[in-house]
């Protein structure tokens, strides 16, 4: 019987899994998860490790329940070496996997195809992680895109999103006994159980992904355009962790929206699909600029006076102790559930890179460690966009005022009060700026600023002016060079 290894990574789902689907039609299947250093060259953050543990737990359980097939787990240094061992042990005739677009592993996937094809195996990679292939879309001049709007226009004209596949009717178990490591041996869960609140917040399973999609489509998508920036409301999809781990595919989401409206999208539904377009754009940019993981896309920012110190101010930012309520709420939400509302992500990133003048890479690394939806393209693109040094970047003079942003998008202070309970006693008009409250008001609710909640770590206007001066100086330096 023909037997195929299906190499899994960020595609832990049974439905719309092309590698698994096609392998199941050929004969027996050996699903394999390799935890190797070259397949995971950037160490996964703590929150994503917890998610990955639960995702593997769920996926392997479904494989066993539906098909009586075991997920093979191996640990090692080299992916090629581990695959060599598996091929020798099992005498398989092929290796199938779904293509990833991480620039750190792109060459590895190419080497897998070349190496095992030469050995006579049927080696295939399949498309499912993105809606488009990054090399397919080009400007009229034949160059990759660096601005979102024309990219999105071209995408809508030229890209046809394939309909998702169902789950395999049957997966035949190989009759070869393959040695496997226990999930616990991956040591993805920390010794201290700090993830209790994440356990309560997330249903880490393929079923959980579709439940969340259904909830969003039933309750929030039509108002998404108007309310997506409100962190106090449950009006975003919260599908990003499932997408990042491959527990749902982007084309499953795309077609669920299209079919719901029979192609006649509401403004909310269109705005949501546009956000999937941003994910595509982020990978398009990273694919064509792989150094973006560590380097500024706009090279003039190499001279920008960002600070790299992880000093007391930086740690106050990470812990949600800046004295700026909307920022502290966001950072505490991130720490407790591994996720933060997108509007608040922009606010906290602007504060770090502009008001505090910290290098965007410090924030990107913190998000990488604490987000359950940590995704290399979205994370890097988001931070460079906010810092002003990336593709289609926010202009340098756009420095989010966290107080006005809080009042606009969390008008009653409910989001802040949820994550910063010290401020619950304050009247709504002072929640976003407790230092503006008259002393009489503070005393009446038994609140002492500087004791019950810290004073702002930086003066808002002064730090904004300092950032503007630095950006303007950078512009002058560029003009002199030109």
Residue that the structure tokens 């070349």 belong to: 114
Residue 342 to residue 98: CA distance in whole angstroms: 28
Annotated binding-site residue? 198: no
Host H or E run for residue 18: helix 18-26
DSSP class of residue 119?
T
Residue that the structure tokens 């669920």 belong to: 256
Token readout for 376 is: 């290399």
Strand residue runs (E) in 37-126 = 72-76, 94-98, 122-126
Residue 21 to residue 26: CA distance in whole angstroms: 9
Annotated binding-site residue? 240: yes
Annotated binding-site residue? 322: no
Host H or E run for residue 30: strand 28-36
CA angle 194, 208, 126 (to 5 degrees): 105
Measuring CA to CA, how many Å separate 481 from each of 432, 476, 478? Answer: 43, 9, 5
Token readout for 69 is: 């097939």
Residue that the structure tokens 């693109």 belong to: 381
CA angle 72, 76, 77 (to 5 degrees): 145
Alpha helices in 267-424 (DSSP H): 267-288, 312-319, 325-337, 342-350, 360-370, 376-387, 402-409, 414-419
Annotated binding-site residue? 239: yes
Annotated binding-site residue? 238: yes
Helix axes 360-370 and 376-387, enclosed angle (nearest 10): 150
Annotated binding-site residue? 282: no
Measuring CA to CA, how many Å separate 258 from each of 85, 246, 261, 380? Answer: 44, 20, 6, 29
In contact, 366 and 318? CB cutoff 8 Å: yes
Annotated binding-site residue? 196: no
Measuring CA to CA, how many Å separate 166 from each of 68, 169, 194, 249? Answer: 19, 9, 36, 12
Query: Greatest CA span in the chain, whole angstroms?
Result: 82
Annotated binding-site residue? 356: no
Residue 144 to residue 29: CA distance in whole angstroms: 38
Token readout for 138 is: 């080009």
Indicate the annotated binding residues. 224, 236-240, 272, 373-375
Indicate the annotated binding residues for FAD. 224, 236-240, 272, 373-375
């Amino acid at each position: 019987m023909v037997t195929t290894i299906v190499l899994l990574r960020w595609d832990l789902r049974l439905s719309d899994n092309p590698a698994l689907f096609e392998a199941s039609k050929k004969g027996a299947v050996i699903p394999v998860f390799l935890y190797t250093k070259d397949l995971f060259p950037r160490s996964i953050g703590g929150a994503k490790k917890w998610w990955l543990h639960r995702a593997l737990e769920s996926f392997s359980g479904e494989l066993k329940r539906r098909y009586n097939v075991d997920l093979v787990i191996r640990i090692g240094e080299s992916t090629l070496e581990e695959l060599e061992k598996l091929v020798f042990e099992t005498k398989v005739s092929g290796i199938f996997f779904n293509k990833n677009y991480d620039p750190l592993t792109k060459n590895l996937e190419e080497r897998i195809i070349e190496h095992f094809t030469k050995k006579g195996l049927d080696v295939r990679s399949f498309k499912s992680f993105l809606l488009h292939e990054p090399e397919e879309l080009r400007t009229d001049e034949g160059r990759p895109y660096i601005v979102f709007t024309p990219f999105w226009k071209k995408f809508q004209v030229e890209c046809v999103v394939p309909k998702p596949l169902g789950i395999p009717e049957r997966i035949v178990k190989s009759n070869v006994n393959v040695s496997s490591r226990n999930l616990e041996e991956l040591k993805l869960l920390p010794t201290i159980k700090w993830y209790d609140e994440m356990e309560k917040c997330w249903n880490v399973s393929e079923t959980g992904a579709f439940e969340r999609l259904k909830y969003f489509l039933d309750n929030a998508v039509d108002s998404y355009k108007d309310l997506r920036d409100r962190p106090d409301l449950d009006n975003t999809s919260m599908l990003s962790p499932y997408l990042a781990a491959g527990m749902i595919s982007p084309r499953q989401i795309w077609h669920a929206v299209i079919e719901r409206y029979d192609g006649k999208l509401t403004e909310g539904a269109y705005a949501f699909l546009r956000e999937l377009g941003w994910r595509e754009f982020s990978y398009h940019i990273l694919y064509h600029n792989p150094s973006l993981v560590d380097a500024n896309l706009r090279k003039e920012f190499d001279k920008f006076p960002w600070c790299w110190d992880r000093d007391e101010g930086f740690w106050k930012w990470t812990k949600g102790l800046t004295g700026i309520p909307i920022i502290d709420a966001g950072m505490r939400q991130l720490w407790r559930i591994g996720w933060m509302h997108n509007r608040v992500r922009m606010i906290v990133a602007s504060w770090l890179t502009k008001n505090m003048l910290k290098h965007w890479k410090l924030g990107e690394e913190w998000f990488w460690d604490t987000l359950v939806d940590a995704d290399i393209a979205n994370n890097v693109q988001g931070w460079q966009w906010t810092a002003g040094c990336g593709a289609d970047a926010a202009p340098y003079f756009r420095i989010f005022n966290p107080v006005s942003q809080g009042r606009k998008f969390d008008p009653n202070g409910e989001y802040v009060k949820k994550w910063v309970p010290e401020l619950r006693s304050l009247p709504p008009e002072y929640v976003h700026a407790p230092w503006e409250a008259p002393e009489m008001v503070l005393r009446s609710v038994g609140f002492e600023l500087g004791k019950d909640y810290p004073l702002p770590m930086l003066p808002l206007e002064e730090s904004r002016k300092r950032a503007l001066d630095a950006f303007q100086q950078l512009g002058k330096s560029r003009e002199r060079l030109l």
